[in-house]
């Protein structure tokens, strides 16, 4: 997309004249005297932009700290497709891949869309397949993010035409109706993959769930929250008696960085990633595309897959190689580097540089009422409104440390505790533990992505459905929401759309 230069001076002085030579990425002048809550990502991380490009903007920190050019170079790795070429731009896709580009799964940089079928090339299909055994562990025959695309003559581990998504109706304890008669409709996905659709041998038992994408804007600000603050939040909720995933907070289970330091998880539903630099995007640029880089000169595939492909006679013939040679190629740990360090650094500058769109309409009387109700009925127990970032001196990966935009000492408003809860839904997420999804920016989802579904598998088509799926420790708040008048429920939703 076209980037318009931000004019920081404009935001600070709120005068148009300061912007003569630059313009700004705020389509509207920033009104004077806004309360701090409008600055969702703090002064360094917020853009006043509510256009369909609101999720894709560089933060003021990017511009102020001199990263604009690098940001634009990095952006291409997210927005454009990788190619199967062995030379040229964005080369190296395959031999198997989950998708050819990030943006197919993160449309408009937001959450993925609810889908009725699973096709890698359906734009906005942000679903990852989660294939697990009877103990809910990932099956070792497939990669954690299973691939459905392959470069011929290789076959994908799963033939996607065999995947079936069916939406089932669910009737809750209230018969899907509020006492004033307003109805809501709850549906959830049932996913099946027949044995024949796998090109690798599978265990006797396996089950499939879907995990949908999370918005990526503002993830750099989340990175700047100190570990101590996350641990304090855990301790606070623990003292309130909430059911929490305690194992995640044992230091031996923290997630290790390249330099050996370790951190509690803060990203993904599964809290599997502790920093952005060792995070879901840094990992995805390798394992979604299977594009190698200097620190990962091997493929994201399983041993089972390498065996199956190397023993396949049609593949042996097509490649003119024997089983041992094909197996060695697939399992090599010394593959040529496809993405340069320079490109990777630009990519991480872009990733850490994404701003959060400012909140809107917070002074509207209905929004104000909605906010009061949201706090009163206990939604903030888990959707913690604000956090303050620390000194933000990341050092875990020497390749990028000291080369990225920083967000020190910013008050930010993500509306999440970054802890996991069990909301106890039918066909729930793997293990049932799910991180509280940040609510910031979600009101612009329809504009930016063309969809605004919610929850880890997009089972909720609007805010009411999302709230009514809440159970477990969130049942108390859900029940209070249920007992509010329609006017108050609508006010809460308007508030959610404004933050
Ligand atoms: C197959 C679809 C798919 C593709 C392609 C994909 N992602 Fe994701 N992404 C997901 C899903 C699903 C999640 C949520 C997964 C989870 O929590 O386990 C996610 C989560 C994330 C998050 C975490 C946000 C948070 O708050 O925890 C970031 C950041 C991210 N992706 C960045 C990227 C980048 C950068 C790329 C390209 C290199 C990319 N993704 C490609 C599906 C995808
Ligand atoms: C006990 C903790 C807890 C409480 C209390 C709670 N939530 Fe949540 N909320 C979560 C978790 C965890 C998720 C993610 C669940 C999932 O995706 O399966 C979530 C997801 C959501 C989502 C969907 C986010 C998205 O975009 O996918 C909305 C909207 C939401 N909550 C609103 C509310 C409101 C409104 C209240 C008060 C009535 C509330 N929540 C109370 C934990 C909580």
pLDDT digits (tens, 9 = 90+) for 354-372: 999 999 999 999 999 999 9
Q: Between the CA of residue 329 and those of 96, 293, 307, 322, 325, what are the distances in Å?
A: 13, 16, 11, 11, 6
Q: Which atom of ligand 2 is nearest to the CA of 480?
A: 38
Task: Give the binding-site residues of ligand 1, using a 6 Å CB cut-off.
Answer: 78, 98-99, 102, 104-106, 126, 128, 211-214, 216, 219, 267-270, 279-281, 284-285, 288, 351
As a dihedral over the C-alpha atoms of residue 84, residue 90, residue 93, residue 98, rounded to 10 degrees, the angle is: -130
CA of 464 from ligand 2 middle (Å) equals: 11
pLDDT in tens, 423-482: 999 999 999 999 999 999 999 999 999 999 999 999 999 999 999 999 999 999 999 999
CA of 112 from ligand 1 middle (Å) equals: 10
Provide the pLDDT for residue 32: 76
Q: Which two tokens stand for residue 469?
A: 């799926």
* Residues 275, 223 contacting (CB under 8 angstroms): yes
Position 8 pLDDT exceeds 70 = no
Side-chain half-sphere exposure of 435, counting CA atoms within 13 A: 26
* Residues 356, 53 contacting (CB under 8 angstroms): no
Provide the pLDDT for residue 20: 32
pLDDT in tens, 117-171: 999 999 999 999 999 999 999 999 999 999 999 999 999 999 999 999 999 999 9
Position 6 pLDDT exceeds 80 = no
Ligand found nearest the CA of 379: 2
Question: 285, exposed or middle or buried, with CB in 10 Å at 0-12, 13-18, 19+?
Answer: buried
* Overall average pLDDT of the 341-350 stretch: 98
Specify the length of the chain in residues.
499
pLDDT in tens, 39-63: 999 999 999 999 999 999 999 999 9
* Residues 293, 107 contacting (CB under 8 angstroms): no
- Alpha-carbon dihedral sign for residues 467, 470, 476, 477: negative
Residue nearest to atom 30 of ligand 1 (CA): 281
Task: Give the binding-site residues of ligand 2, using a 6 Å CB cut-off.
Answer: 374, 377-379, 381-383, 421, 423, 429, 434, 436-437, 439, 442, 454-456, 463, 466-467, 470, 473-474, 477-478, 481, 492, 496
pLDDT band at residue 33 under the 50/70/90 scheme: confident
The mean pLDDT value of the chain amounts to: 94
CA of 470 from ligand 2 middle (Å) equals: 7
**Measured distance CA(110)–CA(125) in Å, rounded:** 12
Q: Tell me what percent of the residues of the chain surpass a pLDDT of 90.
A: 92
Q: Which atom of ligand 1 is nearest to the CA of 288?
A: 5
Q: Which two tokens stand for residue 386?
A: 């604000």
Q: Between the CA of residue 492 and those of 187, 376, 484, 488, what are the distances in Å?
A: 22, 11, 10, 6
Residue nearest to atom 41 of ligand 2 (CA): 379
Position 209 pLDDT exceeds 50 = yes
């Amino acid at each position: 997309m076209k980037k318009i230069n931000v004019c920081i001076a404009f935001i600070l002085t709120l005068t148009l004249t300061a912007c003569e030579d630059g313009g700004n990425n705020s389509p509207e002048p920033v009104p004077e005297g806004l309360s701090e809550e409008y600055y969702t990502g703090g002064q360094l991380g917020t853009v006043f932009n509510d256009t369909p490009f609101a999720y894709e903007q560089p933060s003021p920190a990017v511009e102020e700290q001199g990263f604009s050019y690098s940001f634009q170079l990095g952006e291409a790795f997210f927005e454009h497709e990788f190619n199967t070429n062995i030379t040229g731009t964005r080369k190296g896709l395959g031999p198997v891949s989950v998708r050819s580009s990030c943006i197919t799964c993160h449309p408009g940089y937001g959450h993925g869309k609810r889908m009725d079928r699973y096709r890698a090339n359906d734009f906005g299909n942000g679903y990852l397949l989660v294939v697990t055994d009877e103990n809910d562990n990932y099956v070792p025959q497939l990669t954690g993010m299973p691939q459905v695309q392959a470069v011929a003559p290789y076959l994908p581990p799963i033939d996607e035409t065999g995947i079936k998504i069916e939406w089932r109706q669910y009737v809750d304890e209230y018969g899907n109706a509020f006492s004033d008669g307003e109805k809501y409709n709850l549906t959830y996905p049932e996913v099946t993959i027949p044995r024949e659709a796998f090109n690798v041998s599978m265990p006797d038992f396996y089950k499939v769930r879907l995990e949908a994408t999370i918005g990526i804007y503002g993830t750099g600000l989340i990175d700047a929250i100190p570990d101590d603050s996350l641990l304090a939040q855990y301790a606070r909720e623990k003292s309130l008696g909430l059911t929490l995933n305690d194992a995640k907070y044992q230091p031996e289970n923290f997630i290790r960085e390249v330099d050996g330091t370790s951190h509690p998880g803060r990203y993904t539903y599964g809290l599997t990633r502790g920093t952005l630099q060792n995070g879901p995007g840094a990992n995805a640029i390798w394992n979604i595309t299977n594009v190698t880089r200097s620190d990962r000169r091997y493929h994201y595939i399983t041993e089972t897959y390498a065996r199956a492909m190397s023993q396949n006679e049609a593949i042996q013939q097509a490649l003119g190689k024997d089983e041992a040679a094909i197996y060695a190629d697939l399992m090599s740990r010394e593959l040529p580097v496809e993405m340069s360090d320079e490109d990777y650094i630009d990519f991480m500058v872009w990733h850490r540089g994404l701003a959060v769109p400012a909140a809107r309409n917070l002074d509207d009387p209905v929004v104000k009422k909605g906010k009061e109700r949201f706090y009163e009925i206990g939604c903030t127990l888990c959707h913690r409104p604000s956090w303050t970032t620390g000194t933000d001196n990341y050092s875990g990966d020497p390749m990028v440390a000291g080369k990225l935009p920083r967000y020190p000492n910013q008050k930010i408003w993500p509306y999440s505790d970054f802890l996991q809860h069990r909301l106890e839904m039918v066909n729930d997420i793997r293990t049932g533990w799910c991180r509280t999804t940040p609510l910031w920016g979600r009101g612009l989802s329809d504009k930016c992505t063309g969809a605004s579904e919610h929850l880890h598998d997009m089972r909720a088509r609007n805010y009411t459905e999302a709230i009514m799926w809440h159970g477990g420790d969130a049942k108390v708040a859900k029940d209070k929401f249920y007992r509010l008048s329609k006017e108050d429920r609508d006010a809460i939703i308007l508030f959610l759309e404004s933050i």
